[in-house]
Amino acid sequence: MLSIPQFNLSTDGHAGRTVLHVSGELDISTAPEFKRRLAELIDGSAGVITIDMADLEFIDSNGIHALVTSFKLAQEHGGTIELRSLQPSTYKVLEIVGLTEVIPIV
């Protein structure tokens, strides 16, 4: 039987930083929720938002688009987004599309 990873978002923060933990698959069905949550975080803070991708199992073009538009929105609001704990497969996808040169990875 095929097991579909459950998508989940959770946040925590300290010292002027907000961390958004992403788990499961970031795809056509979950990207809108991801983008909405990031927009809420960006509206509430002009600081750094760190997206923890340690438990992200898959990202497609919809997830990449949500990431790019959210990064631009954060910059427009005087903040930024950074990524951390990328799985090798996620890093490779982001590298292929050139995002590892644009969005900071910590």
Q: Is 2 part of any domain?
A: no
pTM (predicted TM-score): 0.92
pLDDT digits (tens, 9 = 90+) for 71-97: 999 999 999 999 999 999 999 999 999
- In sequence order, which residues have a C-beta less than 8 Å from that of residue 87 and are 6 or more positions away? 53, 54, 56, 57
Q: Is 84 part of any domain?
A: yes
Q: Is 66 part of any domain?
A: yes
- What is the crossing angle of helices 31-44 and 61-76, to 10°? 10
Counting the structural domains of the chain, the total is 1
SS3 59: strand
Q: Is 67 part of any domain?
A: yes
Q: Is 82 part of any domain?
A: yes
Identify the CATH number of the domain in which residue 90 sits: 3.30.750.24
Domain residues for the domain of 62 are: 8-101
pLDDT digits (tens, 9 = 90+) for 54-68: 999 999 999 999 999
Q: Is 27 part of any domain?
A: yes
